[in-house]
Structure 1
Amino acid sequence: MIAAGGIAAALSTAAGLLLAISSAISHDLIKTMINPKITEKGEMLAARISMGGAILLATYLGLNPPGFAAQTVALAFGIAGASLFPALMMGIFSKRMNSSGAVAGMLAGLICTLLYIFTYLGWFFIPDTNMLANTADNWIFGISPLSFGAVGAMINFAVAFAVSRVTAAPPQEIQDLVESVRYPKGAGMAIDH
């Protein structure tokens, strides 16, 4: 049952991505920019062909090199964890967080994470472009490049906190908005206990 749930989640995600790719190519690219007079039948054919092309490209990238899919997923989660997560959390739980702190933290976390990952896995995963061998002996504090997103998130938190403390506080209406998100109207007794 657990494996079936995982497979169903993967297939539904893949199906959604394939639909987005096919409609982006057939409707947004071909109908909007290349051939505005395309028929619905022609647009459907273009969508099916682009979906087949996307499946073939994904299959090729999954097989050559074999670790490409895992590395890409690790990169995506590392980037999200190092750039977006701290800004969202501090935006909700800190009334002092401002745009300067959020942007500086996001850039610091993103740049550190990308540099670390690409140093060991190659620039944009191109073979033989890594600066250091991807072995535990070369990793900083033994942290794998696929796990560096957590360190990037801590760097993001630290930079965002420091920059937001030395720059102007956000306007009062923004601070009130953050307070209303933290303690919504109607919570009443739940807040006190």
Structure 2
Amino acid sequence: MRPRAALRSVVVAAATILLLGAAGCGSSEEDPYSIPDEFQDYCEEVEDQQVALGDALGEGGPATGLIKALPSFEALAAEAPDDLDDEWQIVLDRIHDLVDALDAAGVDPETYDRRNPPSGLSQEERDAIDAAARALVSPSTGGAMAGVQQHARDVCKTPLTIGAGARVAGPSAT
């Protein structure tokens, strides 16, 4: 009888472990694919800006597309969770720096050609534009943009952009 008692104890222990395991897994009504509450506003903004971002990035060259996308980026940064503040700040600062350099030189981003700059553009203005463009395509900017995109995919369950400019990558120099 002793072997039966031991067997019964093992069966009871195994059943208890299975029941406790089942109670801990799968009994939650939470959807593993749902967006966490603390990210709802940001993820809604991501969805609201997807088409505008795709269109802006698809319309111009790499730098002008980012400049056109700046209002969407600013809206996203305003709703972004705290853990994305650094990434968004890098992206926004680099785009603003290029816009400021172009504005200070009186140059239209749509028509600026680095190889054939407009007459009257000083070397100092050209250097400022080049420096801002290099910073915009730097690894730190690319890393920040990659982090923002990855967060949209992982947390919001959607890409940052859809449409013509669906790929937000590091731009080439202006």
TM-score higher than 0.5: no
TM range (shorter): under 0.3
Larger radius of gyration: 2
Q: TM-score, normalised by structure 2?
A: 0.26
Q: Which has the higher helix share?
A: 1
Q: TM-score, normalised by structure 1?
A: 0.24
Where relative contact order (Cα < 8 A, 6+ residues apart) is larger, the structure is: 2
